[in-house]
Structure 1
Amino acid sequence: MRNDIVVIGSGTAGSRLARQLGAGVTVLGEEPHAPYNRVLLAEVLAGRYGADVIALPDTPVRTGVRAMRIDREERRVLCDDGSVVPYGTLVLATGSNSVLPPLRGMGDELPENVHPFRTLDDCLALSTAVRTGTRAVVIGGGLLGVSAARALALRGAQVVLAHQGERLMERQLDEAASALLRTHLTDLGVEVHTECHVRGLRGSDVQLADGYVLASDLTVLACGARPRTGLARAAGLDVRRGIVVDDELRTSDPHIRAIGDCAEHDGQLYGLAGPALEQADALAELLSGRDGAYTGTRSLTRLTLNGPGPLDLAAFGETTPLPGDDVVALADATRGAYRKVVVRGDRLVGGVLLGDLTAVGELARTWEGDEPLPSTPLFHLLGGS
């Protein structure tokens, strides 16, 4: 079985699977670069790391090769360089694409100086474009947009962050943590606008719904990501939001598996590095003939950005309590630190930490284990004495 495994995608999940399986795996990577750690792209944009520093351990990859079609009947992959790659087992690790919002003035090709922020090429193009004093507008205040805005500010750009939601990173952070994050960014010189609706682009300038125009030398689109499912859909596989897989990460075709951002397991799309790595490890066990299954990941969102005024945050589970939940929170405005946990009955169901992550390891283990909490006061969950 292992002699004809083909992996489409050399990102986090695909390269991890190939390293776990070792020799005898063919990896097709569309990007011209060797596999790299996507989590560290913001550090490259900030100028702290070179592109070589974020390279992953050696993984044999056919770089710059795009899979164009899957021939399920003949079990082969047809590529844009004319090559045909036969497979016994095919693994789709195609990842996700940046969501490009339907803005006025944006056609099939992005205007000059308008950039997505998803790949190393995106990052390198932005690094080339930014200078001290460059006026930059970042559209999107989720994890990716916050990372991009901070990195550009550290490069000396005049940054405006325009976010449609009520608060930054609303999917992960509660109101208090989001407010601290906003303060952190404004202290770096980032101008933050929430409940800000972008209507269109005029070159690289950004026009808001109220008619106001944000003058910009470059615009960054950080509006989220969408699973890359085109190959799977064209091949007739079961696709909903992502490529549907079972507990053995098998698609509707028994000879094709899917892992990482493109995979939808039990109705869940993760879009994070942790679940992608867990899925790759589980599939490596299965393809090596060992028993096992993937039953889901309790995923923790973590962002660590170094440099002046370092930023550390972590969030997991349900950070907004329900009626009857117990909540313990500690805030230190002077140090910009915030810690909060949500407890339901005798279970830890969620938490958020900003600035001081000393307790995150123990909290994450408690949450992931889903075990009854000890009888000690809840304050001790946050490292209190």
Structure 2
Amino acid sequence: MTSNTRVVVIGAGLAGVRLARRLGELGTPVTLIGDEEHRPYNRVLLAEVLAGRYSPDVIALPAPAQLTRARVTGIDREARSVECADGSKIAYDRLVLATGSNPVLPPLRGLFTPDHVLPEGVHAFRTMDDCLGLSKAVRPGVKAIVIGGGLLGVSAARALAQRGAQVILAQQAERLMERQLDPSASKLVRRHLGDLGVEVHTDLRVRDVRCVGGAVRSVEMADGYALDADLVVLACGVRPRAGLAQAAGLHVRKGIVVDDELRTSDPYIHAIGDCAQHDGNVYGLATPALEQAEVLAELLAGRANARYTGTRSLTRLTLPGQSAFDLAAFGETEPRPGDDVVQLTDATRGTYRKVVVRDDRLVGGVLVGELGTVGALARAWEGAEPLPDDGPLLHLLTNDGGS
């Protein structure tokens, strides 16, 4: 590519901003299009804004100079231009979709008003506007129900509790954060939330949202039991924001399908971050999004040998404050028959460490509490190399190895 190649990036989240900044450093100009009125920000830290620990300015990202605020409504692949809601068109030589993901809104009765908007008091938790709306509504004593006990739901419940709300966390699965954590680690998360006053219910399906005068008043469970609510937070996961790509005729499955050069089915269009599906994986995490941005920057700047081969990503949740809580999980946390497992539990200190080894290779682990060993464990897992014969598994859990 030449230095006058027009690169247009749709999406001013972590992936889009990192790509634009990196391209600028490599001498390739870029136009970054974002549809939020706020400065680009680190979505990972929204719960800290909701908890009142950070102001929105603290989590702002250093945006490139070429930031255009617009909502893209279509892609004209033949003309190689994008169409915006205000009628303007922006031409590109290479287009990058970094459109992120949308919150999953569960199929609950009463969830939407006749005008197809969420009732007063019902909030998704995905954007800065969602966060600021919640921050404005929460106050000491308010009754808040968080629907969804994954990473986002746990973070939201904790933040609301820190603001003095009476919080109930309703999780449909049998335990919290079931995708990342084994039962023992999940129990410690539940205990931590309980210590903050959060009432946790698992194996609980919400059926109905009841409103009076357009504002939420209660939610009804599948068994008919109703819970009073002033606030309802929907933390039921996310799905790739791939509507633009689909309308343009690009190959979309779970996300926008890309190859090792992060190209879509159109060689002039790339996709990175939460909206992209590489080798069957839609990661939905910050680390893969940033790695994809780095690789694509190299490619678009003319470094032809750059390739993205996937990310072995570690999930880490750090909940600071007076009752701090740390956890990390990676790989397969549940063993198969024949696997070796080492666990260390200290109930008094609320710490838990576990690794799963298969054929002399570390295939997964989970740590709660003191994370001094996470660096050494993550490196052993990411490298997928045979573990040394002279090092017992216990050594992996007790040697800090640098975090």
Structure 1 length-normalised TM: 0.98
Cα offset, 1:144, TM superposition: 0.2
**How far apart, in 1, do the equivalents of 2:144 and 2:268 lie?**
46
Residue deviations 1:301-347 (CA, integer Å, cap 9, x gap): 01111112111111000000000000011111111111100000110
Counterpart of 1:52 in structure 2 is: 57
**Conserved in 2, the CA contact under 8 Å of 1:31 and 1:63?**
no
Given the alignment of the two structures, is residue 19 of structure 1 paired with residue 33 of structure 2, yes or no? Answer: no
**How far apart, in 2, do the equivalents of 1:62 and 1:209 lie?**
46
Counterpart of 2:374 in structure 1 is: 360
Cα offset, 1:81, TM superposition: 2.0
**Conserved in 2, the CA contact under 8 Å of 1:245 and 1:263?**
yes
CA RMSD, aligned part only? 1.1
Correspondent of 2:117 among 69, 84, 109: 109
* Residue-pair matches, total: 385
SS of aligned partner of 2:329: strand
AA partner of residue 158 (structure 2): R
**How far apart, in 2, do the equivalents of 1:195 and 1:179 lie?**
14
1:252-263 superposed matches below 5 A: 252-263=265-276
Cα offset, 1:9, TM superposition: 0.2
Structure 1 unpaired stretches of 5+: none
Residue deviations 1:268-302 (CA, integer Å, cap 9, x gap): 11000000000000101111111210000001101
SS of aligned partner of 1:363: helix
AA partner of residue 314 (structure 2): L
Counterpart of 1:378 in structure 2 is: 393
SS of aligned partner of 1:322: coil
SS of aligned partner of 1:349: strand
**How far apart, in 1, do the equivalents of 2:37 and 2:104 lie?**
22
1:24-103 superposed matches below 5 A: 24-60=29-65, 62=67, 64-103=69-108
More moved, 16-25 vs 158-167: 16-25
Correspondent of 1:297 among 311, 318, 324: 311
**How far apart, in 1, do the equivalents of 2:347 and 2:9 lie?**
48
Residue deviations 1:202-231 (CA, integer Å, cap 9, x gap): 022211011111101100000000000000
Counterpart of 1:7 in structure 2 is: 9
Given the alignment of the two structures, is residue 187 of structure 1 paired with residue 187 of structure 2, yes or no? Answer: no
SS of aligned partner of 1:294: coil
Cα offset, 1:64, TM superposition: 3.6
**How far apart, in 1, do the equivalents of 2:14 and 2:132 lie?**
19
AA partner of residue 104 (structure 1): R
Counterpart of 1:206 in structure 2 is: 219
SS of aligned partner of 1:372: coil
**How far apart, in 2, do the equivalents of 1:339 and 1:155 lie?**
30
Counterpart of 2:204 in structure 1 is: 196
**How far apart, in 2, do the equivalents of 1:338 and 1:106 lie?**
39
**Conserved in 1, the CA contact under 8 Å of 2:373 and 2:399?**
no
Residue deviations 1:122-158 (CA, integer Å, cap 9, x gap): 1011000000111100000000000000000001000
Runs of 4+ in 1 over 6 A off after TM superposition: none
Correspondent of 1:134 among 129, 136, 142: 142
Counterpart of 1:171 in structure 2 is: 179
AA partner of residue 130 (structure 1): V
Structure 2 unpaired stretches of 5+: none
AA partner of residue 321 (structure 1): P
- 1:74–1:384 Cα change, 3 Å: closer
**Conserved in 2, the CA contact under 8 Å of 1:35 and 1:59?**
no
**How far apart, in 2, do the equivalents of 1:106 and 1:149 lie?**
20
Correspondent of 1:340 among 345, 354, 363: 354
User: Kindly, what percent of the aligned residue pairs are identical?
Assistant: 70
Correspondent of 1:271 among 262, 266, 284: 284
**How far apart, in 2, do the equivalents of 1:384 and 1:85 lie?**
54
AA partner of residue 396 (structure 2): L
Cα offset, 1:56, TM superposition: 1.1
Cα offset, 1:60, TM superposition: 2.9
Cα offset, 1:106, TM superposition: 1.7
**How far apart, in 2, do the equivalents of 1:57 and 1:341 lie?**
38
**How far apart, in 2, do the equivalents of 1:209 and 1:61 lie?**
50
Structure 2 length-normalised TM: 0.94
**How far apart, in 2, do the equivalents of 1:335 and 1:151 lie?**
22
**Conserved in 2, the CA contact under 8 Å of 1:29 and 1:61?**
no
- 1:384–1:9 Cα change, 3 Å: closer
SS of aligned partner of 2:327: strand
**How far apart, in 1, do the equivalents of 2:150 and 2:65 lie?**
33
**How far apart, in 2, do the equivalents of 1:327 and 1:179 lie?**
19
